Amino acid sequence: MKHLRIPEDHVITVFGANGDLARRKLLPALYHLAAEGLMPERYAIIGNSRSEMDVEGFRAFARDAVDDFCRCSRSENVWNDFARRLSYVSCEFQPGNTDAVDDAVRKAEAELGGEVRRLFYLAVPPPAFSPITRGIGSAGLAEQARVVYEKPYGTDVDSFRVLDQLVHEVLDESQVYRIDHFLGKETVQNILALRFANGMFEPVWNRDYIDHVQIDVPEAIGIGTRAGFYERAGALKDMVVTHLFQVLSFIAMEAPGSLDAKALINEKVRVMQAMVPLTANDVVRGQYDGYLEAEGVAPESGTETFIAARLLIENSRWSGVPFYLRTGKRMAEGRSSVVLAFRAPRHDIFDRLPRDAFEHDHLTLELGPNEGISVSFLAKVPGPTIELGPAHMTFRYEGSFGSELIEAYERLIHDALVGDRTLFTRGDGIERTWQVVGDVIAKPPPLNRYAPGSWGPKEADELIAPRRWHFPAVHEHG
């Protein structure tokens, strides 16, 4: 992280500061940035939620969050300096009820002195985006402010447009940071370097050489205590429209004219514009056995906990190449990856020999938990006869280059503090993703049951046939 810039002085306000996201991600990330010397020289952090809590209670909450979830050990000296910058305001922030937060922000700015920027982080359920945004505007806090919105940003095209119009009545687009933590992962960013800095990859990164692409994010966990959110979202809105489409845009984009934010985002949006809208025939929905018994889930819930999709991109680079997307809860393994499966050679002199079950030479980008890149290919098995077997070459980020791997939220929070929008999403791109899934939202295919700990419903295997999912093949064959 030594190459990252030091932000200007800031007052950071976290809405939903006692929630699960703040506890698991935001507060540990802010502390780690402070420990690495990457927070502003002068800053204050104001927590806000409806829950009653005093300042000491919030500091204890933050300390426990750091102890439980931070990737670094808590240093008493660093912690004491960090803790004294924490304060807390209890109220439901919205128009007509902004005074407590407004007073806290302006008091903190006065104590810091000089030019101070504002960062508002909305770690709240999506229905709270609108009232909090209006509150920021009515309190006169939008000046010198950047506002970070968690996903999902809208729930369909119409709700997106309503929300985005309201946001732009208060904020300029340059002040809006729609976060997707997958874009903060080192391997996602390294897609650019892998493709455009290496002559061995970019010439074959197209429909002439690639048979298909898989973007696969199985999760071993269930919904936990998130039933209230998950019942409104489901796997399609929670994962596909956000994380998987964003990763796909990095995989499929053309070379940008430069590495600045506008050029990169323009190319990502062009990919989204070229996506062929999904229909029910392109999608398999599933729900794991036992979901209906989870606390907070409606007895007859039709919410999907699993989704697989077959998506086409209609442009000269990718025409005819299917992109297969899969994600689900309570699956056999928690893992995030992108697999590019290459076509067989035009003149395959080994076509009569038995092959590995996956059949394709492939490049795998591991997005987590162990970020890295691996190449799998066929090689001759040692011995007197010609037999083919799978071989692998692997690069892991952890421990490479003599520097620590940057956690996604740390990277993105720092980017927001310095005003770098490169890894954040733009409104027209998000609007397009909602258009792509609009027909599936309006006319969803039926739910299929699957057992917890499995790889999802069998219908997902039929969707990709005659190809196969990389998982569980890699799990079975090493």
Respond yes or no: is residue 243 known to be catalytic. Answer: yes
For 425-438, give one letter per residue: b (16+ CB within 10 A) or e: bbbebbbbbbbbbe
CA diameter of the chain? 82
Give the amino acid at 174: S
Query: What phi, psi does 323 have (nearest 5°)?
Result: -105, 120
Kindly state the DSSP code that residue 256 receives in the 8-state scheme. P
- From residue 282, alpha-carbon distances to 216, 242, 309, 424 in Å are 16, 18, 6, 28
SS3 382: coil
Beta strand 372-380 with 388-396 is antiparallel
CA angle (424 as vertex; 112, 141 as ends), nearest 5:
35
Kindly state the DSSP code that residue 400 receives in the 8-state scheme. G
Structure tokens at 251: 């995989």
Of 32, 243, 414, 470, which residue is the catalytic one?
Answer: 243
SS3 210: strand
Q: Where are the alpha helices (DSSP H) in 365-469?
A: 408-418, 427-436, 438-442, 459-464
CB 420 within 8 A of CB 261: yes
Structure tokens at 97: 């009820």
Structure tokens at 403: 């520097």
SS3 51: coil
Structure tokens at 234: 């489901």
Give the amino acid at 9: D
Rounded CA-CA distance 219/227 in Å is 16
The residues annotated as belonging to the active site are 243
